[in-house]
Structures are given as C-alpha cells and as structure tokens.
Structure 1
C-alpha cells in the first residue's frame, strides 16, 4: 500500500467529482463538462441504492481515488449499459446475485501507486462474487483488474464502443 494512503468510507461528493473529472476528462475517455456534471447526479442516485458501498483514498491528504458499487439491481434496469449487458450475457442469473463494482476512478497524478488496487480490494472484501464493466481502451484499468485476478466473461458493443464484462476472482 502506498505511503500516506488513507481512506474515507463517507467522502463528500466534491471529492468524488474532482477525482472523476481528473480521471475521465483526459484520454481515453474524453468526457465533457456536461458528462462530468451528470456523474454527480448518477452518484447521488446510486447512493440511495440498497447495499451501496463506497470508499475514497487520499494520499497525503489529497483526494486520489474512489470506488463505489452495490448489489445488482432487481429487476434489471433497462438503461445506459444494462440492456447491452443483458443482451451480451443472456442469462442474467449469473449477475443477479452479485455485487456490481460500478465506478472506479483514480486521479492520474496518483496512478501507478497502488491506489486503484487498494480501493478495489477494500470495496469488494466481504461482498462475495462481483462484476464490473470497463472498456479495452482503458488499458490501465484492464491491467489492474486482470492483475487482481478478475476474469473476462464477455465483450460487447454499445453505440460503436467496445466494453468488457469482468467477474471477480471469487466468482
């Protein structure tokens, strides 16, 4: 674990937003200010989901990264990526009882220092089988998940962009 790394399971939305903007505005994501602002609304909505868990990491007091997730929704939503995931998987029973690692973000200033790995391990500890979606273009994220033992289940395309569905090592 990196020197000076601390955690806060009840971070403020401002810390999450600043980390999200730092992580998703540059390549490969290129998120716009409107997309970054929409994240704050999604986070507020997701925080009301039963079983929601989150954690934020700070390096020497500076917001460095965050992670959050929740048990897979039941019934399965028909929005954003959920419909394409359902189409790619077919049998949703393999995801229905699992924890969804919904968002992982690390400020690029702290990349490569173990922040993402520590956050993923902390959030998924004790939740059992989990899943997540990322894009192959996010090479650092793919390396992180695969190094942590997550295995690729399916690849699918949404509006011309390729995504991968991963299952946790304990799946």
Structure 2
C-alpha cells in the first residue's frame, strides 16, 4: 500500500510494532510507541513510501513492513560511527530503499511471514540497494537478514543518547 492507505490503517501497524518491539532486546514502552507513531504519517508522506500489512484468516494484523527511498538530503549516513566511502554515501532519491520496520507478532513467527513481507515490500522497486538498522543484541532478525543476502556495513546511532544499531545493506544489482 502507499502512504495514505497505510495511514488509514496505522492502528494495525501500531499494534504489531508495540507488541514486537516491547520484547527484549528492544523493550520499547508505550511512550516509545507513541513517539514512533507520531512520526508515522510523516514517513508515510515521503515520496515512494510503501508498506505491507499481513493479516490472519480472521483479519487480525500479524505482520508489517514499510519503508521509502532514501532522499538525497538524508542524514542516515552521518549516523555511522565510522565513515563509509563517498560512493556508498551517494543518494539521489532512487539509489537506496530504506527498510524502516519489519515485524511479525510472536504467534506467527518462524512461518515465513517476515520473508514474504520483505519480498512483497521490495517487489518492483527500482533501487540498487536496501539499507536497514537492526538492534545488535537481536539474534533472529540479523540472522534472517543475512540469509536474505544482507551484510553488515557498520554501526550507527541517531545521537549520543540513542542506542547503537547495526547497519545492514542488501545489494539488489548482484
């Protein structure tokens, strides 16, 4: 779905996010979830935003993924603790797709839902690569991303108070 459609069902995205990221190692609180979803309409308004929402047979939300192309004026690369080559930092609004969130509620994990969400989200994008951040203490997510072709390119944090995250990249041209 596009941004306006995602905003219409943002309660479903919020439910999945709140449940998935309340668990260790994230341990996000209700305040963290509220802060994240104050930004959701802004993210959904970015050019090229796309989202996928999975529901069970009864229509209950079970998983979600969303992201958007990284804009030329991004600060994402500036958050890396060690610089990467200038060629990697190059952004034109089409080169890199930023995978913002991918989560599946516990009862539906280990059933291929995350992989299907990931593949549906990226289906048909024109980007050369996909960039994401993942909590370094998480075990399942980075392992899944590695099996899907991602590799770690560094570590990043939004600001000095923010937790360190692993930055992973998937090259779509190979």
Per the TM superposition, whether the score is higher than 0.5 is yes
CA distance in 2, matches of 1:42, 1:13: 11
Instruction: Give the TM-score of the pair, scaled to structure 2.
Output: 0.81
CA distance in 2, matches of 1:93, 1:71: 17
SS in 2 for 1:122: helix
CA displacement at 1:93 relative to structure 2: 4.2
SS in 2 for 1:28: coil
Structure 1 residues 154 and 82: CA distance shift in structure 2, 3 A: closer
Runs of 5+ consecutive residues of structure 1 not aligned to the other structure: 1-7
Q: What is the root-mean-square deviation of aligned Cα atoms in Å?
A: 2.1
Give 1:3's aligned residue: none
Equivalences, count = 160
Give 1:113's aligned residue: 111
Deviations 1:89-126 (A, max 9, x none): 44454252211111111112211111111111111122
1:32 aligns with 2:29: yes
Runs of 5+ consecutive residues of structure 2 not aligned to the other structure: none
CA displacement at 1:156 relative to structure 2: 4.0
Matches within 5 A, 1:9-158: 10-11=5-6, 12-60=9-57, 61-77=59-75, 83-85=78-80, 87-91=81-85, 93-95=87-89, 96=91, 97-127=95-125, 128=127, 129-156=129-156
Instruction: Give the TM-score of the pair, scaled to structure 1.
Output: 0.83
